[in-house]
């Protein structure tokens, strides 16, 4: 039987810049804008795929400008090739340049969008998932003064979110005061999740996690520097709080190493770290074999990227945590279709084939772009 082909005819790369409602602050830095890349792949059969990435220099070493340039290398190689041959299109990108997982993920998402549309099914079904669970996002408190963080947490609780995620990692002793203030303000019923974003030293992490045990913390993301992954098993062993690997779990190679080391209790998968859905599915299969629960997280993507993440989140029963709040922080929404944020953090999936989300034409017309 001849191989099915959909030929890539044109690729457009756009810069998407949207201010946030208020600054998003972590131990790694402060963000006032979402500075994202949108990739649009058009084919000879009239099927168009949309992808998005939100590069972040401290995490993946990429910016909107590097992605804009590197994406053009990919586009030149992709032209006139088969969009359905995702494995070889991923290999094309990896042969061109090492790393650069953020921009690779935007191309990957657009390819999966095309393939799922061609197959006549939603993306989650195309990748072997089922729409059999309710996706409910947490909401994040930026790091800052304990009083401000406590006030922000109260607001999140009143808005009905099921869990509060709290950014820490700037001095362990102060972080304990931050959590103490938040727990006193919101009470004991709502789950608290913490993310140190690599901010603690090893000894500091162990001391801080033990001091935080009294506040009923669900789990802690990336307590120490990602390059200290050999020390992560020690932190896990001495922590009363489950440890979730984030920055140290980029792709499936990282996941395999962390499993062998017994370094963490959970994985946080982000398509911008893995290079897209193709490699993220490999992480999920490894996690399932090791019985490791997963979270799907995000950088600062719009609802376009978030919709792709939500489809991926339906691909495994062990994906049980969802961190899809940052699109809610945008002042403007450029997306047509896509997920809908309902009350209390509940996310409603689109019913369309493929991803089911695009960037509105009025936005595409006014964005800086290159067409290949």
pLDDT in tens, 171-183: 999 999 999 999 9
Q: Average the pLDDT over 10-19 and give the result.
A: 97
User: Rounded CA gap, 118 and 320, in Å?
Assistant: 29
pLDDT in tens, 148-158: 999 999 999 99
Give the pLDDT of residue 25: 82
User: Do the domain assignments include residue 309?
Assistant: yes
Q: Average the pLDDT over 209-236 and give the result.
A: 97
Sole residue written with tokens 């509105």: 360
Q: State how far Cα 361 lies from the chain centre.
A: 25
Per cent of the chain over pLDDT 70 is: 99
Can you tell me whether residue 57 is helix, strand or coil? Answer: helix
Asked if residue 176 and residue 56 are part of one domain, the reply reads no
Has residue 2 got a pLDDT over 50?
no
Has residue 3 got a pLDDT over 80?
no
Q: Which class for 60: exposed (0-12), middle (13-18), buried (19 or more C-beta within 10 A)?
A: buried
Which segments of the chain are extended strands (E)?
8-26, 29-43, 48-53, 135-136, 139-141, 164-167, 192-195, 217-221, 243-245, 266-269, 293-296, 319-322, 335-337, 340-341, 346-348, 357-359, 369-371
Has residue 323 got a pLDDT over 90?
yes
CATH of residue 321's domain is: 3.20.20.120
Asked if residue 136 and residue 95 are part of one domain, the reply reads no
Which segments of 101-245 are extended strands (E)?
135-136, 139-141, 164-167, 192-195, 217-221, 243-245
User: Do the domain assignments include residue 321?
Assistant: yes
Write out the residue range of the structural domain in which residue 180 sits: 125-359
Active site residues: 167, 195, 221, 246, 270
Give the pLDDT of residue 135: 97
Asked if residue 115 and residue 131 are part of one domain, the reply reads no
pLDDT band for position 24 (cuts 50, 70, 90): confident
Asked if residue 78 and residue 131 are part of one domain, the reply reads no
> DSSP label at 45?
T
Contact 165, 222 (CB under 8 A): no
Q: Average the pLDDT over 212-240 and give the result.
A: 97
User: Do the domain assignments include residue 2?
Assistant: no
Asked if residue 223 and residue 88 are part of one domain, the reply reads no
User: Rounded CA gap, 110 and 367, in Å?
Assistant: 18
User: Do the domain assignments include residue 1?
Assistant: no
Give the pLDDT of residue 27: 80
Helices and strands counted in the chain (H then E): 14, 17
Q: How many CB atoms lie within 10 A of CB 339?
A: 25
Asked if residue 112 and residue 224 are part of one domain, the reply reads no
Per cent of the chain over pLDDT 90 is: 95
Contact 287, 254 (CB under 8 A): no
User: Do the domain assignments include residue 240?
Assistant: yes
Q: Which class for 120: exposed (0-12), middle (13-18), buried (19 or more C-beta within 10 A)?
A: exposed
Average pLDDT, rounded, for the chain: 96
Tally the residues of the chain.
Answer: 372
Q: Average the pLDDT over 105-117 and give the result.
A: 98
CATH of residue 115's domain is: 3.30.390.10
pLDDT in tens, 76-109: 999 999 999 999 999 999 999 999 999 999 999 9
pLDDT band for position 23 (cuts 50, 70, 90): confident
Asked if residue 144 and residue 102 are part of one domain, the reply reads no
Contact 243, 280 (CB under 8 A): no
pLDDT band for position 1 (cuts 50, 70, 90): very low
Asked if residue 289 and residue 215 are part of one domain, the reply reads yes
Asked if residue 101 and residue 136 are part of one domain, the reply reads no
Has residue 140 got a pLDDT over 80?
yes
User: Do the domain assignments include residue 288?
Assistant: yes
User: Do the domain assignments include residue 347?
Assistant: yes
Asked if residue 50 and residue 15 are part of one domain, the reply reads yes
Has residue 128 got a pLDDT over 60?
yes
Asked if residue 303 and residue 320 are part of one domain, the reply reads yes
User: Do the domain assignments include residue 300?
Assistant: yes
Give the pLDDT of residue 319: 98
Radius of gyration of the chain (CA): 20
Give the pLDDT of residue 29: 85
pTM above 0.85, yes or no: yes
Helix spans in 97-220 (H) = 101-119, 123-126, 146-158, 172-186, 202-212
> Into how many domains does the chain fold?
2
Can you tell me whether residue 348 is helix, strand or coil? Answer: strand
Asked if residue 214 and residue 129 are part of one domain, the reply reads yes
Cα distances (Å, whole numbers) of residue 31 to 34, 296, 298, 331 = 7, 21, 14, 13
């Amino acid at each position: 039987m001849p191989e099915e082909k959909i030929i890539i005819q044109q690729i457009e790369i756009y810069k998407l810049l949207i201010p946030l409602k208020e600054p998003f602050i972590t131990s790694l830095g402060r963000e006032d804008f979402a500075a994202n890349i949108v990739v649009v792949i058009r084919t000879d059969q009239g099927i168009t795929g949309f992808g998005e990435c939100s590069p972040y220099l401290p995490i993946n070493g990429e910016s909107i400008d590097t992605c804009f340039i590197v994406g053009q290398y990919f586009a030149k190689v992709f032209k006139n090739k088969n969009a359905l041959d995702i494995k070889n299109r991923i290999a094309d990108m990896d042969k061109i340049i090492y790393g650069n997982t953020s921009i690779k993920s935007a191309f990957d998402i657009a390819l999966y969008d095309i393939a799922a549309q061609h197959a006549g099914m939603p993306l989650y079904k195309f990748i072997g998932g089922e729409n059999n669970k309710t996706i409910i996002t947490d909401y994040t408190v930026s790091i800052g003064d304990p009083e401000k963080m406590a006030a922000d947490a109260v607001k999140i609780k009143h808005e009905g979110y099921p869990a509060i995620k709290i950014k820490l990692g700037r001095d362990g002793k102060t972080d304990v005061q931050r959590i103490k203030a938040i727990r006193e303000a919101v009470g004991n019923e709502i789950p608290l999740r913490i993310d140190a974003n690599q901010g603690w030293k090893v000894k500091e992490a162990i001391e801080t996690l033990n001091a935080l045990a009294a506040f009923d913390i669900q789990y802690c993301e990336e307590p120490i520097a990602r390059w200290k992954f050999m020390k992560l098993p020690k932190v896990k062993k001495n922590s009363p709080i489950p440890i979730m690997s984030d920055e140290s779990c980029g792709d499936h190679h990282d996941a395999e190493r962390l499993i062998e080391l017994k370094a963490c209790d959970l994985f946080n998968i982000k398509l911008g770290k893995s290079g897209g859905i193709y490699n993220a599915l490999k992480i999920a299969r490894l996690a399932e074999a090791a019985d490791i629960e997963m979270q799907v997280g995000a950088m600062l993507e719009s609802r376009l990227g978030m919709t792709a993440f939500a489809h991926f989140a339906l691909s495994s029963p062990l994906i049980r945590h969802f961190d899809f709040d940052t699109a809610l922080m945008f002042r403007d929404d450029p997306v047509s279709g896509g997920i809908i944020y309902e009350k209390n953090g509940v996310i409603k999936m689109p019913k369309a084939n493929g991803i089911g989300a695009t960037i509105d034409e009025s936005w595409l017309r006014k964005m800086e772009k290159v067409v290949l």
